Structure 1
C-alpha cells in the first residue's frame, strides 16, 4: 500500500496538471516550523511557472493555496481509517513557510498584549487553517485560551486570559 505522502504527491501533481500548470511536487518539509509534527509537506516547485500562474496559485491572501490544502486534507483522508489519516501542508514558493513565521510573531505579540493588559485580543483576517494553527500553538499555554467568533468571511480569533 502506498504511503499517504506518496498518494498526496501524486494527487497534487494530477491537480496541477489538470489546472494546466507544469509544476513538480516534492515532499521535503519544514516540519520544525509547524506545531503539527504529523503534517506531511507537499512542496510545489514553481520554477517553470509564469508570475501570473504563481499569483493564481497563491491567490488573494493565500485563498487559492489554502483551498488546495483543504482539498488535499479532505480528499486524501476521505477513505482512510481514522488512525491512518494524515495532515497535509501545501507549500509554494516559500509562502506557507513565511506565513507561519508571520503568524508566530503575531501570536507572540497578542500573547504579550493579553498578559500586559488582561484584555481580550482579537486577531482578524486569518484563514481557518491559520486560526487552527494558532489555536493549536496555544493549547500548551495554561494561562491563555482562544476561540473563534463570527461568520466567514469575518471570522476572528480571540485570545484571552483564563
Structure 2
C-alpha cells in the first residue's frame, strides 16, 4: 500500500463523516497491513459524544460495517486489481473487541462440535464476520465451515471435516 492510498482512505472517510455531521479526525494504522492485509482507518472518538459514537457504530456494528463496505467499494473502484487495498474502519475499539468476541465464539463452536459430533450453526453474523470465523477455523484441520441460507438469514455452519458438504 502506498501513501496515496492511505491518504485517499483518510480523506474519503473524513468527508463521509463530515457529510453526516460528524467531525472527527482519521488516523491510519498501517502496522496491521502486513499481519492482516488491511489498512485500518481509525476514527478518532475523542471529539465525539457517546451518541455520535453509537450512531456511527450502529446496532451490532451495522453502520460501521456499511461504512467499511462503502470504503472498500468506493476506494477500489476503477483500480487495477494489483492496486486494490482492503480497508478496515475502526471506531472506539469496536473492531478489536468484536474480533476477540468472534475468536471466542469460533473456539466455543469448535469445542462443541468436537464434544458432540453435531454441526453447530452460528446466526446473526454479518458477511464480514462469517468470513472472519471461516478464517479463524481454517486452523482446525478436523473441522470445516460453510454458509447456509440466504441473506438476511444466512448462517455459518461448523461441522466435522468428514461431515461437511462438498460445496462450501
**TM, length-normalised to structure 2:** 0.88
Q: Distance in 2 between matches of 1:119 and 1:29?
A: 41
Q: Distance in 2 between matches of 1:30 and 1:105?
A: 24
CA shift digits 1:32-62 (9 cap, x unpaired): 9xxx621110000121112221111011111
CA shift digits 1:107-128 (9 cap, x unpaired): 0111111112111111111111
Superposed CA RMSD in Å reads 1.9
Q: Distance in 1 between matches of 2:115 and 2:84?
A: 40
Q: Distance in 2 between matches of 1:3 and 1:120?
A: 46
Q: Report deviation, 1:63.
A: 0.5
- 2:36 is the counterpart of 1:46: no
Q: Report deviation, 1:30.
A: 7.3
Structure-2 residue corresponding to 1:27: 28
Unpaired runs of 5+ in structure 2? 162-168
Q: Report deviation, 1:129.
A: 0.8
Unpaired runs of 5+ in structure 1? none
8 A contact 1:30–1:97 mirrored in 2: no
Higher relative CO (Cα under 8 Å, sequence separation at least 6) belongs to 1
Distance 1:28 1:82, change over 3 A: same
Q: How does 1:81-92 map to 2 (within 5 A)?
A: 81-92=80-91
SS of residue paired to 1:80? coil
**Higher-helix-fraction structure:** 2
Structure-1 residue corresponding to 2:14: 13
Q: What number of residue pairs does the alignment pair up? A: 160
SS of residue paired to 1:8? helix
Structure-1 residue corresponding to 2:4: 3
Q: Report deviation, 1:15.
A: 0.6
Q: Distance in 1 between matches of 2:24 and 2:160?
A: 45
Q: How does 1:58-77 map to 2 (within 5 A)?
A: 58-77=57-76
Q: Distance in 2 between matches of 1:5 and 1:141?
A: 34
8 A contact 1:114–1:159 mirrored in 2: yes
Distance 1:11 1:106, change over 3 A: same
- Larger-gyration structure (1/2): 2
Deviates more, 1:149-158 or 1:98-107: 149-158
